[in-house]
Amino acid sequence: MQEKISACRICQSPGVVPVLSLGVTPLADGLLKEDQISAPEPRFPLSVAFCPECSLVQLQETVSPDQLFCQDYPYYSSFSPALLKHSRENALNLIRLRNLNSGSFVIELASNDGYLLKNFVEHGIPVLGIDPAEGPARAAEAIGVPTRCTFFSSQLAQDLRSEGKAADVIVANNVLAHVADTHGFVDGIHTLLKDTGVAVIEAPYLKDLVQHCEFDTIYHEHLCYFSVTALDRLFRMHGLFLNDVERLSIHGGSLRLYVEKIENVSPRVTTLLQEEREEGLTHVRYYQDFASRVERIRTELRMLLNDLKQKGARIAAYGAAAKGSTLINYCDLGTDLIDFVVDRNTHKHGRYMPGQHIPILATEALLDKKPDYVLLLAWNFADEILEQQKAYRQLGGRFITPVPHPRVM
Ligand code: JHZ
């Protein structure tokens, strides 16, 4: 099921302007089992638009959340050591800054397999995770992170409030962009937050996406691509204030937002708002050459891989990431070019990449099969992966990064 928006997801203005189309693609996390590869796969248009009124960059289509996130969702945060480290530092920092203790309450929206909340549990701080994906939610429970397996909404927030629950800290990482009912979600945060509480939210930063041409992070799960300008307006519509912001390098460049009920805006927020205005993120012109830069990456990447293939090279890929699915489908990289994809996530092994049906194997396959080149689909974890694959590289194996320009590393 899919619906096309008729107005901006935040300000409801009808005049959104299309800026990029990535064609009609399968669902990025819809990894296939062996018995599914001969059946037709659902495919949906993947096109991005800009709202001149509130500056929100957004997908024009909404695929049903049940289809995207519930059963069989293969993303488990804990398979990425760098993400675990990043999340632990975030948790320890919050414990210190907010003086959290056994009398506090931390709620995480999209808590996945408990990768972050486990750090609060370890310090005796009561927590609740909320996540609709069954497998990851079960994994969280198994490590002692209480989890409700459901979508977060304004209704759920009201239900929790009537159970007497209210949060000192709400964490919501890489989920705000995923929700179709953006207003219901933010309203729910307002309901669930104590008057003195803080919501700490991470989301990929639109400016990094455009500057580094990270077009592969566009897929049906990501409905919004946020600037500080659009976020500031969104929170104010719900009586919340974006009081502080940090820029992070995770996932190709993200924002960490500190949102509260009492207005106390730091100069870091005003500086970013001003920079966005000066650099033009609030105007459609900023996005107009994006589509041609994306096309150039496709042409250059196909040329590079075809050239290597013609010279007799064997090519694999690393990371059965959602962004990898956008990349291989938009660039039409199939089994004629890429023999297999490796990934550490055991839930992905034995499956096939959506659309192109490239098999997914354990990372040991790189040493077993010794491909000459590996296309780095999870380029956002390049440092960690290159370090981890030292043995393969010492045998002469080379990595290729697709963005911001395809090149052999
Ligand atoms: P990764 C995810 O997207 C999920 P994806 C989600 N859609 C989102 O919003 C973004 O993050 C922000 C593997 N790996 O995390 C694990 C190794 O095998 O970049 C993953 O399968 N070895 C909610 O899926 C994949 O690569 C490693 O050493 O695009 C990385 O996927 C490491 C570090 C990762 O994001």
Lowest mean pLDDT among 54-68, 145-159, 389-403: 54-68
Lowest mean pLDDT among 30-39, 71-80, 151-160, 172-181: 71-80
User: What is the spatial distance between Cα 225 and Cα 50, in angstroms, rounded to a whole number?
Assistant: 10
Domains in the chain: ranges and CATH: 2-60 (no CATH), 77-263 (3.40.50.150), 286-408 (3.40.50.720)
Reported as a pLDDT band with limits 50, 70 and 90, residue 69 is: confident
Residue 384 near ligand 1, beta carbon < 6 Å: yes
Report the nearest atom of ligand 1 relative to the CA of 204.
12
Ligand 1 centroid–CA 378 distance in Å is 6
- Residue 394 burial by Cβ neighbours in a 10 Å radius (0-12, 13-18, 19+): exposed
- Residue 338 pLDDT > 80: yes
Tell me what the mean pLDDT of segment 167-191 comes to: 97
Tell me what the mean pLDDT of segment 27-34 comes to: 94
Report the nearest atom of ligand 1 relative to the CA of 319.
26
Stated as kind and residue range, the H or E segment containing 60 is none
* pLDDT per position as a tens digit, 152-167: 999 999 999 999 999 9
Reported as a pLDDT band with limits 50, 70 and 90, residue 318 is: very high
Report the nearest atom of ligand 1 relative to the CA of 216.
29
Is the CB of residue 40 less than 8 Å from the CB of residue 24?
A: no
pLDDT of residue 74: 84
- Name the strands in the sheet holding 17-26, side by side, starting at the edge strand that comes first in the sequence: 17-26, 43-50, 57-59, 224-225
pLDDT of residue 72: 81
pTM: 0.96
Tell me what the mean pLDDT of segment 179-185 comes to: 96
* pLDDT per position as a tens digit, 246-291: 999 999 999 999 999 999 999 999 999 999 999 999 999 999 899 9
Alpha helices in 123-251 (DSSP H): 134-142, 154-162, 182-192, 206-211, 228-236
> Angle at which helices 182-192 and 154-162 pack, to 10 degrees?
20
Between β-strands 224-225 and 315-318, what pairing exists: parallel, antiparallel or unpaired?
A: unpaired
% of the chain with per-residue pLDDT over 90:
95
CA dist 9 → 13, 53, 167, 181, 185 (Å): 8, 11, 27, 8, 12
Is the CB of residue 25 less than 8 Å from the CB of residue 324?
A: no
Partnered with residue 171 across adjacent β-strands are 108, 200
Encoded tokens for 180: 């179709």
pLDDT of residue 68: 82
% of the chain with per-residue pLDDT over 70:
100
pLDDT of residue 71: 66
* pLDDT per position as a tens digit, 210-236: 999 999 999 999 999 999 999 999 999
Tell me what the mean pLDDT of segment 105-127 comes to: 98
- C-alpha count within 13 angstroms, C-beta hemisphere, residue 336: 7
* pLDDT per position as a tens digit, 353-399: 999 999 999 999 999 999 999 999 999 999 999 999 999 999 999 99
Residue 160 near ligand 1, beta carbon < 6 Å: no
User: What is the spatial distance between Cα 208 and Cα 206, in angstroms, rounded to a whole number?
Assistant: 5
Report the nearest atom of ligand 1 relative to the CA of 324.
29
pLDDT of residue 245: 98
Which of 63, 75, 379 has most ligand 1 atoms within 8 Å of its beta carbon, as the pocket-test mutant?
Answer: 75
Mean pLDDT of the chain: 96
Residue 238 near ligand 1, beta carbon < 6 Å: no
pLDDT of residue 256: 98
pLDDT of residue 126: 98
Residue 343 near ligand 1, beta carbon < 6 Å: yes
- Residue 70 pLDDT > 70: no
